Every structure is written in structure tokens, then in C-alpha cells.
Structure 1
Amino acid sequence: MSYDTIIKSGRWFDGTGAPSAIRHLGLRGDRVVAVSAQPLDETGCDNVIDATGKWVTPGMVDIHTHYDVEVLKAPALTESVRHGITTIMLGSCSLSTVHVQPTDAGDLFGRVEAIPRQHVIEAVTGQNWGSAREYVAALEELPLGPNIAAMLGHSDIRTALLGLDRATRKKVRPTAAEQSAMEAALHEALDAGFVGMSAQQLLFDKLDGDVCRSRTLPSTYARAKERRRLNAILRQRDRILQAGPDITSPRSIAAMTFSSAGLFRRKLKTTLLSAADLKANPFLVYIMGPLARLVNALGGDFRWQHLPVPFEVYADGIDLVIFEEFGSGAAALHLADQVQRNALLQDESYRRRFRKEYDAKFGMRVWHRDFFDAEIVDCPDDSVIGKTFGQVGVSRGGLHPVDAFLDLVVEHGTKLRWRTTISNHRPEFLDKLSANPGVQLGFSDAGAHLRNMAFYNFGLRFLRRVHRAEQAGRPFLTLEHAVHRMTGELADWYGIDAGRLREGDRADLVIIDPAHLDESLDTYAEQVVPEYDNLSRMVNRNDAAVSAVFIGGEFVFGDGVSAPVLGTRRTGRFLRAGGR
């Protein structure tokens, strides 16, 4: 038997959680055709890779991204591929670009996901699809790097059928014809192979643009009857609801969570945002696992989504989504004009309101609202770099931390850069969440918040933690189970053909050098995005950790270098639900 590629002597993981072993893999075309304990015949094979001392795993699956815009402009999606991600989910958080018109797409994605609005509009303008089936066909014409799976966004179809203005008015209900059209659009998307629908009730996700600026996403205006009818389609067809509840409303959290239950009706496969060890609510982490177990005991099929690394965010001035969750922060972000915004930030009555909301001790929140836990990393005023805003306030005669922050924002604008960790800061709870069967690993938000975060390599960071715990004699997962959690487990739950590395499986794989799963994984770099007018985004650079990435049997990336094929010829494909 001849092979296009042989990968020899690596520690092979098949993605099922089965024991790993030293094996030799033979690839031909887009398939794994041999997994052998004995060396393979290398005659006629021009590409032989010695993986001695390295891990050979299935390519990882990222279940939560916002690449819906970038995939249209730069379909290689290199920033994820370089870290071993070979399958990517689009359409999260009620947002997709299947039906919505260009300007409305800009308003939906621009502020919520911090993707420059004009580039969203440009990406969607001129696209020639009018249905989910045509959207899939258009994706398959692109030189896709990774494989793509997709959700249909509730805000997408609601906007397309009601218009953005009507879709974001509390008193407006869809007409019977509009409701039927939304249901037909969902059926059509599921027929086209979409894995399900995403919805959103979180109230600090705000619209961009002028017409509906600062209203919440259209999905948040849907009433129970509308949601139930769409969910009924997902139940009937055994497809998935991905959703974000309104975290300030126990009723919203309970309704979305228990909608999965299967007593007296078909279960609804449901995945919610998100399981996290929040600094702002340190006791919340204790109830997530038991809640998932309860729902599943009631016949449900429920999972939380979880980012298995510390959730560290950066901000330029006040431009960060966490300020949307309280009134004074949202009021500042409502003002796109910098002069108007600075005038507001200097107003004493506004500052009193901001201080009051900052000091409030009760209520559900995501941000811990502690400016003593927010470090300045760059500023034209060198004297404040390395200090927290709280420390700056103390050094300036005992200023309230809010005033210290606002003074610096007014003075330096987006040239003031700072960071804080929102959640997942306690290693012991990271370990527990990562091992919990009611939790899915993912939630990278790749493709969004380009100046705020970079979790493209979350899978490598997770494997490092598992490996180090094993070496220290305190394992919380086996390496085989850890690989399974980010590959085959996710592919099976979403019903897509990915995440396995056995004979006959598609050759989507990554070769990892465990000797280089080191501190380089925790650092950030910046890289311009040519498609976004050279906007500088946060990225991860740990090139020695990934020796090679194959998608569809093609070498696409390794040791920090893209192969010529990546982004010039299609290696990935659209993965249809149930296509395994």
C-alpha cells in the first residue's frame, strides 16, 4: 500500500478516549488509511514525518466562534488553524449572516462582537445567497481552511423578516405570516445541514449603527410563544439550541435550562452560555454542575459551554463589552462621537451615577467591578503603567477608582490600554469544570473582540494543564479523556463528522510537541488584519508547540508557517449535521 503521507512513531490519540499508543499513521487522499503498531512501508511516500516524542491527535473542535464575517474575507481562518483547530462552529449568540442584509449585519455584529461595523457591511455586501442552502453552497466555493459547521441565528431571521426596527421593539409581535416564515427558515437551515439555532436573552449585548443603536439584540425581544414554536422544531428534529440567558433574571436562566428536560415531551438538546468561575459571583460555580445533572436526570440533554482557561480581557479606554452591563457604562458606549463621550465622562452627575453602580454590592453581574484589579499595560503617561486604576487614585490624593479611570480615559482615550481577569482564575475550579460531563469545552469567541482577547490556543493550554497535573501526580483527567473532550465528544454531541482519528476517518489532525507546551502559551502578541484595514488584533504565538496541522489529508500549517495551500485552495468543508 502506498501513502501520500506517513506520520511515524508518534503517541496516537484516536479521539474516543481509548488508551493512546505509539503508532504509525498512513494518509492517502483525505483519509487515514492505516494505523499500525509496526512501521509502514515508506516506498514511494515523499512526505514522511517523524513524530517521535510528540502527540498525534484529531484536530480540535471550536464550538463557539464569531468567524461569520472573517470567513467571508479570509476563509483560511489561520489564527485558529495554527493552534490545531480544524473544525469551527459559526452562528453563535443568535448572530449569523444567512438572511440579514449588509447594514443590519453591521448593526448586529459591530458593537456586540467588536468587529468594525464597516467591514461587516463590506463582507456581506454583494453576497448572492438568499437561503441557508445557498449560503452553504457559497461557503463551499471559498478556499476554506478548517471545516465549518453552523447554527442559524435567531436574531438573523428575526431581523430579516420583521426589519431591524420592528424586531427590536418591545410591543411588536411577529404576525402569523412572519412567525411561519421564521419557522420555515429554520426548517430550511436544518435541511441544509445546520446543527441547530442560537438564541440570546442577555441584555447587555447592544446594537451598533444609528437607527436602533443601543437596543438589545432582536432575539431578546422574542416572547415565550415565539421561542417555544422555534424550539419545537429543534425538538422534533433532534437538533440543538445554543442560548444565552439573561443572567439578571432567575426566570430566564431556569426557563432556558429546563427547556432541555424530556419529561412528557421530546428533549431539547441545549447548550447554554456559560459555565465560569466568576470573580463577581464566586458561589455560582458550585451550582452549575448539579443543575446540569438535575436537568439531564429529568430526561434532558443539557450542557454548559466553558472556556477552560482564565478569562483575561484587555481594553482600549472604555471600549469593552463589560461596561454594557450597567447603565452608566452603556451610556458611554452609546456615544460614538469622542467629543460627546468625553463631555459625558467629565460630567459630575454622570460620575456620581457611575460610582454608585460601581459600588453596588448586590445583583448578578459578569464584571467584578474592582478597579484595584485592573492593571494599566500601556499609556502615553509612563508613570501609570504597571499600576491599577485604584493605585492611581490613591497616588492622586485618594481619588475614587472610578474617577481615576475616567480621568485617564478622557486624557488618553484608546491609547490607554489595561487588562483584568473576569473569571476562571482559581485553578481548582478550572479543573472541576473541565472534568464535568455537564460542561463542554470551547467558547473561544474567535473572530470577535479583536482588541480585547485571544483564546485561539485554548485547547493547547488545556492540554498543558492536564499534562502538568498528570506529571505532578494529581491528575484530574487522563490525557486521552482530555483529547476526547475537545474532539470526539463535541463532534458526537453536535452530530458532525469530525473529532476522530482512526482508519477510515477523515485526516484532520494535529501533531503537538509536549516539550513546548510551556509559558509561551500564556503570552499575547498583536497581528494586523489586512481585511480590516490592518486593524491590530490580539493573537497567540506558540509556534514550537504545533509541529503540523493536517486538514483533509493536506498539510496546512506547522512550526509557525502556513503551507501555500492554506487560503488558496479549499481543504476544509461544510459539515452537515448527521453527516458522520
Structure 2
Amino acid sequence: MLDTLIKNGTLIDGSGGTRRRADLGLRDGRIVAVGEISEARAETIDAEGRIVCPGFVDAHTHYDAQVFWDPALTPSSNHGVTSIVAGNCGFTIAPLSGDPADADYLIRMLARVEGMPLGSLQKGVPWGSWESFGEYLGVLTGKLAINAAFLVGHTALRRMVMGKRAVNHEATPEEIEAMQELLRVCIREGGLGFSTTLSLTHNDAAGDPVPSRAASDEELYALADVVSEFPGTSIMLIPGVGAFDEETRERMTNLSLRAKRPINWNLLNPVSGQREVIEAQLAVSDYAAERGARILALTVPQAMSVRLNFLGGFALDALPGWSSVIGLPVEERKKALTDPETRKWMNEAASSKDAGPMAGLANWGVMTIVEVFKEEHRRFVGMTVAEIADEEGKQPFDALLDLVVADDLKTFFKPPIFGDDDESWQMRGESWTDERTIVGASDAGAHLDMIDTFAFSTQILGEGRRRTSITTEEAVHQLTEVPAKLFGLRERGLIAEGYHADIVIFDEETIETGPIHLRYDLPCGSPRLFAEAVGIEHVFVNGREIVRGTDLTGEFPGKIIRPGIDTDTVTIPAEA
């Protein structure tokens, strides 16, 4: 007897091929029949007029902490995501040394660099329940709604081996060897591979570069060598912003060659006016291919809306010299931001040539105030900084900082949404089907009150289909089989007999990302941006329904994805 029969649906199997009408039979977590099915079943779902497709795969999340207070991993699960990769950008909360100072460093770093509320991290995570990577995965096993793989973060490795020296210091040969051995242990215990960052936007709670930014190429390549020693492993990198120079192209290529794996990097954001930069970034894949390596860019499915503030300071601290101010304690930071001389050099630095592509942030007048935290400032919500400056007879930067300081740095403001024009959408659509990219870059679980890219799946199937020429079949293919193949996920990413029953049923006519709003449901009452999924009616993971309509079912059938057990090795041309 079947556990579930899904009948009368329109099947899009994830391969990119033509849709067809077919029934699906599920039993013991697998798809056991596709076609016309008459076998007895315990449950029947009538999918007449609906699309039935594989569950979506999210290549880039930061759910490493949220797994403890929200094991359903919302909103990803609501939006049809059935498998995620976490531990990206070099940031993980395992392994730990057992020294509370090391955990405290990671907590405060994540609060700063990934926009996770400090109170939520401190109170919502059961610190002390693990030290090793295997113990961390053990705490999660059998408790998640969706499948999850976890890369091993460079920062945790460095902190465990080097202690406080992990920041701003190169590792000695002995320390590199110790990190290699620690990474081996973590992968043996279930870590999917290795992640790291060199991005100027990644600073710790003190305003210093995160530990991995101090790594030499020798260290990076030595850790990539470890990835090559194990089957089914993966590697990812944040290389920086803007066009890549020769040194960066060579480093990325060598990482792929040394790991003997494709390397994915975050993020490619196609917008009009930057076509040359986008083409230059994609060209690193061609450069690598000529040398036998493989590099893939994670690309976003939407025009990005970003909320900024001076309390968290993410992105702002990447402006030249600004991390020295953003990294100050709150009261000292407020004092510095009040000082005319500090304001002068910060404003000049933000618009200088050294700021590179980040200099676009320095057009303060176009920023819109979106949230304030004191009643006397309510009237500014919805106004641009230029409008406030005109009203108060100030320069825009001074008007912004006066409000920010008076609001205890909590004020949220946002730049105009760039990339919502037709040319940008055309570029975006072209990037989704480019063999040098993977649709993703959701950052789900991070920057919780800053960005809304977590809904990438319904974005591409909703507005993405309306604004570009991509078909539903191709969009599903890019959300399922393509990322599943990148990570070598065994028997996932397609609807076929014998595959795991990770399935989404949706209404093609109505699928959409719902309105973005704040939800105050994090530990300690902190808010996060949230959006319901419109048009997604059922989500199955390993044959069990986890979402029905807008409701979670309370089922937790997700599996921890382990390299070589749940993944196959994905090679590069040099190893073919």
C-alpha cells in the first residue's frame, strides 16, 4: 500500500523537460511510482490544475543557529525549500574549544557580520550542548523539518586552533597543519566541506576583519587539499566585491584545483549600468575552465531591497575606515558620530575612489527612513534624507546622523531599489540559465531585519517568470536539479522512481512571494523580515508533508546530509 497518492497533477520533473500529466506514489520516504497509479493508498491528494515538482534546494543559507529555535526553518520551508546548505561564508558555530570565550567571540561576530540578534543567539542556542562538529550535528539529527547540510566554517577552525591570534595574524605552518587535521575530523563527523570569506564587508564585533581574512593563500590551499581527500565534499568562497583582479581569479581557480571540486561564490547581482562588472565577474568561470577548474556564481532572483542601520553596521563598515567607528561600543560610537571632524572624514571616505562599488551608499540624500524607535521621530518615516535635510537646513549626511544618534543608532534606512528596470530583469533572466551560475544567494537565516532574499524560490516562479522569458519548467530546473547536481545530492532534485520524496505542489497562476512584513517571533522578542508563500499548497520532505497551505504540519522528517553518504563526488574538468 502507498503512503500517499498524488493524483491528477501536472508533473514538472526538474530536468527541464516538457511537463506532463502523471500521478505520484510515495512509500517509505521514496517515490515508488510515476504515471497512472491504481494501487491502494493511505492518503490521496488531488493535484488537479496544480504543478507537482521536486522540492527546491537552497545553496546558501545561515541557519546554523536558527535550527535550535525554529527547527521548521521558516520561511524557507513555507516557500518549498526541502534541502539547504548552511555553514556558508566561513561562519559556523562548530567546532568549539570548550572555552566560553571562543563561543562568545562567535556569537558576537555572527550578530555583527550576519545580522542575527545578539539576544537570540545568546538565549536561543543551547551553548554547551556540543563541542565537536559531530556533536553539533548529533544535537540536530531527527529534529529538522527539511534536509540540511553543513559546511565547516574557516572562522571556527581558526579560533579553535589559534585562539585570539586568529584575528589579524597569519597562521604558522604548525597551525595550518592543526587546522587541516581539525577539518578532517569535522568532515569525517559529517561536515559537507569547507567555506571561507575574504570579503571586506565581513568584520567581527570589534570591527576587525573576521579571522579568515588574515589567511594566507598557503593556508587556504592547504584546507582545500583536505576537501579533496573525502568523497562528496564541497567548497565555497566569498571573494569580495566588484570585478576580480588577476590575483583573485588565480586564487579562486587554485582553490577549485586543489579541492578537486567546483567552487561556488556569493554573490552575482545583475543590474543595468553594471553590465561590464557582471561580465567580468562571470569571466572568472571561463578563466578557471581554461585551467581545468570550475567556478560557479550564486545569483539572486530579484531586485534587492536592503535596510541599513548604524547599530548593526553591516555593509556600512565596509566603507574605507568606517569599521573603526562601527566597531566602537554604542555610547562611544554615538559620541564619534556626533563629532564634526569624524563626520567629515567618514563622508569623504565613503565617496572616495577607495570605496569602489560601495561608494554608491554615499548618496545619502536618496535614502528613505523606514523605521525609527522613538515616538518623536515617527514623522520622519517615509521621508528621504534629502527631504529631512531641506526641512532642517542641514547637509544630508549631518541630517541622517543627527537622527541616527538621537534614535540610539537603531534607525533603519534604505537606498532606492536598484535593478527593478526592464534591462536589469533581462540581465537577471539571462544569468539564471547561464551555465556559470546557480540560482540562490538567499542568505536565509542571516540579516534577519535587513534583506528579504530568503524567498528566492517564489520570487523566480512569481515575478521572475513575469518579468523575464524563463519558463516554469526552466525555473524549476534551476531550483532543483541544477543545485542538487552541484552538491552531488543523491537521488534528490528530480521526480523519478526511487528518488527521495521531496515534493512541492503549487498553483502556477498564483505563486508569488507575499507582502514583506516584520514578525516579532525570535528569542528575546527580536524581529525578522518575513513573507508568506502564495500559491504553494503542499510541501513534502522524505515522503512526509511538512506544509499544507500556509500551515506547518508539525512533522520533522528532515535528514542531515553527510558527504559520501548522502552525496556523490562532483569532479572538475582537470579530474575527469
TM-score (norm 2): 0.89
1:128–1:396 Cα change, 3 Å:
closer
Q: What's the CA shift for 1:46?
A: 4.3
Which residue does 1:240 correspond to in 2?
234
Secondary structure at the aligned position of 2:8 is classed as strand
Give, as a single letter, the amino acid of the residue that structure 2 aligns with 1:223: S
1:4-403 maps to which residues of 2 (within 5 A)? Answer: 4-36=3-35, 38=36, 40-41=37-38, 43=40, 45-100=41-96, 101-122=102-123, 125-141=126-142, 143-163=143-163, 165-170=164-169, 172-176=170-174, 178-208=175-205, 213-237=206-230, 239-247=233-241, 250=245, 253-260=248-255, 262=257, 267-277=260-270, 283-316=276-309, 319-327=312-320, 329-337=322-330, 339-361=331-353, 363-366=355-358, 368-369=360-361, 370-379=363-372, 380=375, 381-397=377-393, 399-403=394-398
Q: What's the CA shift for 1:273?
A: 1.9
Which residue does 2:571 correspond to in 1?
none
Q: Does 1:537 align with 2:528?
A: yes
How far does the alpha carbon of each residue in 1:518-576 deviate from its partner, in whole angstroms, 9 at most, with x for none? 4xx2631121224x21211111123x3110111111111122111132xxxx3100112
Q: Give the Cα–Cα distance (whole angstroms) in 2 for the partners of residues 102 and 362 of structure 1.
A: 34
Q: What's the CA shift for 1:385?
A: 2.9
Q: Give the Cα–Cα distance (whole angstroms) in 2 for the partners of residues 281 and 394 of structure 1.
A: 31
Contact 1:146 1:571 in 2 (8 A): yes
5+ residue gaps, structure 2:
97-101, 568-576
Farther off after superposition, 119-128 or 545-554 = 119-128
Q: Give the Cα–Cα distance (whole angstroms) in 1 for the partners of residues 370 and 282 of structure 2.
A: 36
1:423–1:183 Cα change, 3 Å:
farther
Secondary structure at the aligned position of 2:202 is classed as coil
Secondary structure at the aligned position of 2:137 is classed as helix
Q: Give the Cα–Cα distance (whole angstroms) in 2 for the partners of residues 102 and 494 of structure 1.
A: 29
1:433-512 maps to which residues of 2 (within 5 A)? Answer: 433-468=431-466, 475=469, 477-497=470-490, 498-512=492-506
Q: Give the Cα–Cα distance (whole angstroms) in 2 for the partners of residues 14 and 259 of structure 1.
A: 36
Farther off after superposition, 432-441 or 188-197 = 188-197
Give, as a single letter, the amino acid of the residue that structure 2 aligns with 1:486: L
Q: What's the CA shift for 1:495?
A: 1.5
Give, as a single letter, the amino acid of the residue that structure 2 aligns with 1:28: R
1:294–1:479 Cα change, 3 Å:
farther
Farther off after superposition, 244-253 or 289-298 = 244-253
**Residue 550 of structure 2: which of 560, 565, 575 is its match?**
560
Q: What's the CA shift for 1:406?
A: 0.8
Q: What's the CA shift for 1:4?
A: 1.7
Give, as a single letter, the amino acid of the residue that structure 2 aligns with 1:189: C
Secondary structure at the aligned position of 2:82 is classed as strand
Contact 1:247 1:253 in 2 (8 A): no
Q: Does 1:527 align with 2:528?
A: no
Q: Give the Cα–Cα distance (whole angstroms) in 2 for the partners of residues 408 and 182 of structure 1.
A: 46
Which residue does 1:408 correspond to in 2?
403
Corresponding residue pairs, total: 551
Give, as a single letter, the amino acid of the residue that structure 2 aligns with 1:180: E
Q: Give the Cα–Cα distance (whole angstroms) in 1 for the partners of residues 271 and 454 of structure 2.
A: 21
1:128–1:193 Cα change, 3 Å:
same
Which residue does 2:561 correspond to in 1?
575
Q: Give the Cα–Cα distance (whole angstroms) in 1 for the partners of residues 433 and 255 of structure 2.
A: 21
1:386–1:120 Cα change, 3 Å:
closer
5+ residue gaps, structure 1:
none
Contact 2:253 2:294 in 1 (8 A): no
Q: What's the CA shift for 1:174?
A: 3.0
1:554–1:350 Cα change, 3 Å:
same
1:168–1:422 Cα change, 3 Å:
farther
Q: Give the Cα–Cα distance (whole angstroms) in 2 for the partners of residues 94 and 422 of structure 1.
A: 28
Q: What's the CA shift for 1:330?
A: 2.4
Q: Give the Cα–Cα distance (whole angstroms) in 2 for the partners of residues 168 and 76 of structure 1.
A: 34
1:422–1:366 Cα change, 3 Å:
farther
Q: What's the CA shift for 1:365?
A: 3.0
Q: Give the Cα–Cα distance (whole angstroms) in 1 for the partners of residues 272 and 162 of structure 2.
A: 39
Q: What's the CA shift for 1:52?
A: 1.7
Contact 1:102 1:121 in 2 (8 A): no
Which residue does 2:99 correspond to in 1?
none
1:421–1:98 Cα change, 3 Å:
farther
Give, as a single letter, the amino acid of the residue that structure 2 aligns with 1:515: E
Contact 1:243 1:256 in 2 (8 A): no
1:220–1:362 Cα change, 3 Å:
closer
Which residue does 1:549 correspond to in 2?
539
Give, as a single letter, the amino acid of the residue that structure 2 aligns with 1:462: I
1:466–1:319 Cα change, 3 Å:
closer
**Residue 412 of structure 2: which of 414, 417, 442 is its match?**
417
Q: Give the Cα–Cα distance (whole angstroms) in 2 for the partners of residues 382 and 123 of structure 1.
A: 31
How far does the alpha carbon of each residue in 1:57-87 deviate from its partner, in whole angstroms, 9 at most, with x for none? 1111111111111112322213210110111
Q: Give the Cα–Cα distance (whole angstroms) in 2 for the partners of residues 11 and 466 of structure 1.
A: 21
Q: What's the CA shift for 1:185?
A: 1.9
Contact 1:65 1:445 in 2 (8 A): yes
Q: What's the CA shift for 1:150?
A: 1.4
How far does the alpha carbon of each residue in 1:415-454 deviate from its partner, in whole angstroms, 9 at most, with x for none? 6332235764421221122121101111111111111122
Contact 1:32 1:501 in 2 (8 A): yes
Secondary structure at the aligned position of 2:451 is classed as coil
Q: Give the Cα–Cα distance (whole angstroms) in 1 for the partners of residues 454 and 259 of structure 2.
A: 36
Give, as a single letter, the amino acid of the residue that structure 2 aligns with 1:540: A
1:394–1:429 Cα change, 3 Å:
farther
Q: What's the CA shift for 1:507?
A: 0.9
Q: Give the Cα–Cα distance (whole angstroms) in 2 for the partners of residues 466 and 340 of structure 1.
A: 44
Q: What's the CA shift for 1:324?
A: 0.9
Secondary structure at the aligned position of 1:321 is classed as coil
Q: Give the Cα–Cα distance (whole angstroms) in 2 for the partners of residues 271 and 287 of structure 1.
A: 16
Q: Give the Cα–Cα distance (whole angstroms) in 2 for the partners of residues 124 and 175 of structure 1.
A: 34
TM-score (norm 1): 0.88
Q: Give the Cα–Cα distance (whole angstroms) in 1 for the partners of residues 146 and 416 of structure 2.
A: 30
1:252–1:145 Cα change, 3 Å:
farther
Contact 1:59 1:84 in 2 (8 A): yes
Q: What's the CA shift for 1:367?
A: 6.0
Q: What's the CA shift for 1:328?
A: 5.3
RMSD: 2.5
Which residue does 2:574 correspond to in 1?
none
Q: What's the CA shift for 1:499?
A: 1.6
Q: Give the Cα–Cα distance (whole angstroms) in 1 for the partners of residues 29 and 51 of structure 2.
A: 20
Q: Give the Cα–Cα distance (whole angstroms) in 2 for the partners of residues 15 and 130 of structure 1.
A: 39
Give, as a single letter, the amino acid of the residue that structure 2 aligns with 1:23: A
